[in-house]
Structure 1
Amino acid sequence: MANSQTHFLRSSVLPFELRYSDNSNACYKKHSHPEFSIGVVDSGVSEYINQNLKQEISVGSTVIINPEAVHSCNPKTGTNWSYKMLFVQPDWLTDLQNSISGTEKSEFQLFKQKHSRCSTLYQDFQSLSQVLIENESPLLVEESAITFFSNLILNDLKAPFINIIPKQATHLAYQYISDNVDNNISISEIARESGLSHFYLIHSFKKQYGITPHAYQMMMKINKAKILLKKGNDIVSIATDLGFTDQSHFHRHFKSIVAATPRQYKKNR
């Protein structure tokens, strides 16, 4: 029996559940579930069945499974595999689909694609999974998920994204983030303030300012932290007051922007 353990991670921010396992030989009967699911193979070779599709998949493969679709995915006989699988409540995706299309459909729109070898999709899923596992910022979790699934929807529709949002609406989002540097605000709060949907908020903000809402929020937090460090404030207190989950979270983001640790920066003020 393989020495493996399956992990289940339920997001505190979104209706998501991430399941991941290393070196597993566990097998599943054909089954279905009400959630939409998408997953990747990290190692090994597996047999993937999704309704009328049956094929071997390996590292770099991404599987896409609509709600209630009968499927299975198991390691090739006599082998082990590693994988990640993300389960998403359909209502959340339906809202995003409507936001992108500008419609008010009540039912989830089925994805046409069931399998992909696209390296970009594979890497983007790995990045989203890492954000969900770390779960360090609600804004980053929402932003990452909306960006990933927006691209998935647009690619499945083979539709280009057209941004026709007035600049004033995006500026309201920009100003709201600026005014709430100390708070861990959510995408929903920013969207409500600007009058934009979650989808258009993220895409429009990046197009207008060249940076995502979360990246801008983090930049403003670090700029304020620099001011407080130069005043001699305590590092632990700064991290707490600016809404960082812990010191390592603060340390990592500070160094990525300033190229020095908070302690180094304070010492040379």
Structure 2
Amino acid sequence: MAGAQQPAEWARHWSYAELPDLDLLRARYIRHTFPRHSHEGYVFATISHGVEDIGTPSGTVHAGPGTVVMINPEVPHTARASVPEGWVYATLYPSVEVVNAIAADTTNLRGTVGFTETGVADPHAARLIGEVHRAAEEGNALAADSMLRVAVTHLLTRHGSAFPTPAPRAAGARDAARARSLLESRMAAPPTLEALATELGTSPFALLRAFKKQYGMPPHTWLTDARVRRARRMLDAGTAPAIAAAEVGFTDQPHLNRHFTRIVGVPPGAYQRERARTYKTGPEPSR
């Protein structure tokens, strides 16, 4: 008798028009691995089946069922399956503005807030994240907005803190910030590391070391992540994937497809199609 068929990967990455500063992802990943990347906003995820390994600057977090994953803005991380059956999860991606506004409204935390732990066992928060998804998928704007605020308030109250004001930047950090600004402005035709270092008045190795220390990844890895971010904004605005690929500096659409899918978790075409949907969704793919 043939063995049991391995479950298929599936993913839906979308936004709900009534909550414009929130992205949602529900997925099962088995073979897919997320390379080192970061997000402009926060990541709140709950795993319902399997185990996900999240690689962070402070180590690897093994997230199983009931675990809630919290990742702060601009923190580089990776993700992959830790078990053969992969993992199933629901993720919320609220913007910095949303989370800090909720913090100011419902907690004593002020300024930029964040989380010192990446993975926590918090079944109540896990249920709340699932309820945000269900409400959004049902087109219930009042419930989705309410449950998002309850979920974020709970996470902030139980696990959040105010981040201290950053200290003045050292010379290396200033060079890294200038390098990032230059790469952003020349995304379609970036300079070599040597040319970039020369323009900044430093050495290639010193710049590489400073950049990795400041942003958690070397300039070329950061640039790929930045290109995908910009491509996402263009796709959100209705730009065709092929045009977006050329504008952000990928060699062609397949090049965009490969990196976009690895970092976002879905291909750019599927991502853009979900952005165009404003009606109640159908049932989830079978598990």
TM-score range, shorter chain: 0.5 to 0.7
Rg comparison, structure with higher value: 1
SS in 1 for 2:114: coil
**1:170-189 counterparts in 2 under 5 A?**
none
Q: State the distance in 1 between where 2:139 and 2:44 align.
A: 19
Q: State the distance in 2 between where 1:82 and 1:30 align.
A: 20
1:152 corresponds to which of 152, 155, 162: 155
Distance 1:85 1:120, change over 3 A: same
Distance 1:31 1:103, change over 3 A: closer
Quick check: 1:89 aligned with 2:92?
Answer: no
Q: State the distance in 2 between where 1:58 and 1:156 align.
A: 18
Quick check: 1:142 aligned with 2:145?
Answer: yes
Identity %: 13
Are the equivalent residues in 1 in contact too, given 2:61–2:118 (CA < 8 A)?
Answer: no
1:17 corresponds in structure 2 to 23
1:241 corresponds in structure 2 to none
Which deviates more from structure 2 when the two are superposed, residues 87-96 or residues 14-23?
Answer: 14-23
Equivalent position amino acid for 1:76 in 2: S
Distance 1:30 1:2, change over 3 A: farther
Count of residue pairs brought into register by the alignment: 158
Distance 1:124 1:56, change over 3 A: same
Unaligned runs of 5+ in 1: 159-244, 247-269
1:184-205 alpha-carbon deviations (Å, 9 max, x no partner)? xxxxxxxxxxxxxxxxxxxxxx
Are the equivalent residues in 2 in contact too, given 1:21–1:83 (CA < 8 A)?
Answer: yes
Unaligned runs of 5+ in 2: 1-5, 162-278, 281-287
Distance 1:103 1:60, change over 3 A: closer
Equivalent position amino acid for 1:141 in 2: A
Give the alignment's Cα RMSD to 1 decimal: 2.6
Quick check: 1:8 aligned with 2:5?
Answer: no
Are the equivalent residues in 2 in contact too, given 1:25–1:81 (CA < 8 A)?
Answer: no
Return the offset for 1:43: 1.3
Are the equivalent residues in 2 in contact too, given 1:43–1:82 (CA < 8 A)?
Answer: yes
- Higher RCO structure (Cα 8 Å, ≥6 apart): 2
Q: State the distance in 2 between where 1:12 and 1:77 align.
A: 35
**1:184-195 counterparts in 2 under 5 A?**
none
1:171-225 alpha-carbon deviations (Å, 9 max, x no partner)? xxxxxxxxxxxxxxxxxxxxxxxxxxxxxxxxxxxxxxxxxxxxxxxxxxxxxxx
